[in-house]
């Protein structure tokens, strides 16, 4: 019998921590989990879940306009921010309770408070010390706002969902997932949105064709998208905020959202008390089994860097619990992880970008399609979809699939299975399409692209 209070003490009840705690407990481990903020972490409270609810809300705005061409007539309904915000709050509170119940039901002790590591086997929460055979750090990430005059006036994705009043004029800084998603949300809800990105083309890391297509479509949807510009200062003025830019111009806004990346959430964790090494990016260094350089301490999720996605954190938490408490030698396979950016239209991506594939495979065959979706022939909306396949010319394997268009997340999830299974272009070609859909385009791309 172990002399420790617990077999596993998890710090952080987000996606990775909760999954690890529940699974470890289901294998019979004695588990405690400490959380100082909200059950379910970023994803449930200030990330994926409320974001998707707000995306749905924002799509009605243009949906009512689209409906006119299909014969629907009448006065357009007005949007009410308070209703959306408070309904969202109710739903998130329901999910918080479910997480709590699931953990308690699995037999884990839930401790409210911030866990601070005292030594390799001890965590303090407030004045109480708990000992455990193994510690798991799953504290996730925290929004990063750079230093500049007036940065205290900026809000982040932690606050934007719950603003007291709807920001009629919103400035968004950044060119990654969060910036483009919130630009689409607030544009759809009726705000005047200006998005600022510091370099010449945003969505760094995505396929270049997707980045260029997004740079056309996002302004078409009504967002004022500005490249090669950054904020110099923010000042409070009588009627909101004055945002001074480094090109000498200025904007007035009701709110300024900073979506300039996230840092690992390590503040006050007590890492100075143990032998845990950090990577250059400040994330926790782990091996294939999520073990840190302190043998009894493990880490999963955004706090270890890599792809900062909820399903990745879930997979890591699960693999950790199976290996340490379930007797299974499981590793996470990071190949062909699909993801979606819920901007409008949505981006879906799986596998290599063209730029990466050229380095990895050499000769490629490319297939591209740029078209107006059937729905918009009657809606009259000026919105184009773009789809692209990247094929390794030597093996015929489809190694990259990228799109921007309606339902890109749903479509990409399905194709990701085929791509992980090694599907070739020949298999794509012999797959019969579902007509009329957007997804069928991926199985009917016959002619390789030969240049613009």
Q: Going by DSSP bridges, is the β-strand pair 297-299/128-137 parallel, antiparallel, or unpaired?
A: parallel
Judged by CB under 6 A, does residue 208 bind ligand NDP? Answer: no
Q: Which member of 14, 16, 175, 338 binds ligand NDP (CB under 6 A)?
A: 175
Core vs surface per residue 402-430: b (16+ CB within 10 A) or e: bbbbbbbbebbeebbebbeeebebeebee
Angle at 414 between CA 410 and CA 419, to 5 degrees: 135
* Site stretch for ligand NDP (CB under 6 A), options 17-25, 77-85, 337-345, 370-378: 337-345
User: Binders of ligand NDP among 209-268, rule CB under 6 A?
Assistant: 230, 259-262
In this structure, the chain runs to a length of 452
* Site stretch for ligand NDP (CB under 6 A), options 79-87, 170-178, 236-244, 275-283: 170-178
Q: Are 346 and 59 in contact (CB under 8 A)?
A: no
- CB of residue 261 vs ligand NDP: minimum separation in angstroms? 4
Judged by CB under 6 A, does residue 52 bind ligand NDP? Answer: no
Residues 424, 428: Cα–Cα separation, whole Å: 7
Judged by CB under 6 A, does residue 105 bind ligand NDP? Answer: no
- CB of residue 223 vs ligand NDP: minimum separation in angstroms? 15
Signed CA dihedral, 204, 210, 213, 218: sign only: negative
Judged by CB under 6 A, does residue 111 bind ligand NDP? Answer: no
- CB of residue 55 vs ligand NDP: minimum separation in angstroms? 10
Residues 213, 403: Cα–Cα separation, whole Å: 9
Judged by CB under 6 A, does residue 204 bind ligand NDP? Answer: yes
Q: Which member of 14, 17, 40, 174 binds ligand NDP (CB under 6 A)?
A: 174
Could you tell me where the beta strands, DSSP code E, fall in 59-167? 109-112, 115-119, 122-125, 128-137, 141-143
Judged by CB under 6 A, does residue 150 bind ligand NDP? Answer: no
* Site stretch for ligand NDP (CB under 6 A), options 33-41, 108-116, 168-176, 413-421: 168-176
121 is catalytic: no
135, with CB counted inside 10 A (0-12, 13-18, 19+), is: buried
Measured from each CB, the residue nearest to ligand NDP is: 176
**Cβ nearer to ligand NDP, comparing 199 with 275:** 199
For tokens 């503040």, the residue is 267
- Give me the active site residues, please: 435
> Which residues here bind ligand NDP, judged by CB under 6 A?
146, 173-179, 181, 197-199, 202, 204, 230, 259-262, 308-309, 339-342
């Amino acid at each position: 019998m172990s002399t420790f209070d617990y077999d596993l003490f998890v710090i952080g009840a987000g996606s990775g921590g909760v999954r690890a705690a529940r699974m470890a407990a289901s294998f019979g481990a004695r588990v405690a989990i400490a959380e100082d903020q909200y059950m379910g972490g970023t994803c449930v409270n200030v990330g994926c879940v409320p974001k998707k609810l707000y995306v749905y809300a924002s799509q009605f705005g243009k949906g009512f306009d689209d409906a006119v061409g299909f014969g629907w007539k009448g006065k357009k309904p007005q949007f009410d921010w308070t209703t959306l915000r408070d309904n969202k709050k109710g739903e998130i509170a329901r999910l918080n309770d479910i997480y709590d119940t699931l953990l308690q039901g699995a037999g884990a002790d839930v401790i409210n408070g911030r866990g601070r590591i005292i030594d390799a086997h001890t965590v303090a929460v407030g004045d109480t010390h708990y000992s455990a055979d193994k510690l798991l750090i799953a504290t996730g990430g925290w929004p990063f706002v750079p230093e500049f005059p007036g940065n205290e006036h900026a809000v982040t994705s932690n606050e934007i969902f719950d603003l007291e009043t709807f920001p009629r004029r919103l400035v968004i800084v950044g060119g990654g997932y969060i910036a483009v998603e919130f630009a689409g949300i607030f544009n759809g809800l009726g705000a005047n949105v200006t998005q600022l990105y510091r370099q010449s083309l945003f969505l760094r890391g995505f396929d270049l064709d997707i980045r260029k297509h997004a740079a056309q479509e996002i302004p078409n949807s009504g967002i004022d998208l500005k490249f090669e510009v950054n904020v110099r200062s923010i000042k409070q003025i009588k009627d909101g905020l004055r945002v001074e830019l480094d090109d000498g111009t200025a904007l007035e806004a009701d709110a300024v959202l900073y979506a300039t990346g996230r840092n690992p959430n390590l503040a006050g964790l007590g890492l100075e008390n143990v032998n845990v090494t950090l990577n250059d990016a400040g994330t926790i260094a782990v091996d294939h089994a999520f073990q840190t350089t302190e043998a009894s301490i493990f880490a999963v999720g955004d706090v270890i860097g890599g792809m900062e996605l909820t399903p990745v954190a879930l997979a890591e938490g699960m693999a950790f619990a199976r290996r340490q408490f379930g007797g299974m030698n499981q590793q996470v396979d990071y190949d062909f992880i699909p993801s979606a950016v819920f901007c409008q239209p949505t981006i879906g991506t799986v596998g290599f970008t063209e730029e990466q594939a050229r380095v990895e495979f050499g000769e490629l065959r490319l297939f591209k399609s740029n078209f107006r979706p059937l729905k918009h022939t009657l809606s009259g909306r000026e919105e184009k979809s773009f789809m692209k396949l990247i094929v390794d010319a030597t093996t015929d394997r489809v190694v990259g699939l990228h799109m921007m268009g309606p339902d890109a997340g749903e479509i990409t999830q399905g194709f990701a299975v085929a791509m992980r299974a090694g599907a070739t272009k020949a298999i794509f070609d012999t797959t019969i399409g579902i007509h009329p859909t957007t997804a069928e385009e991926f199985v009917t791309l016959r002619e390789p692209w030969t240049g613009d």
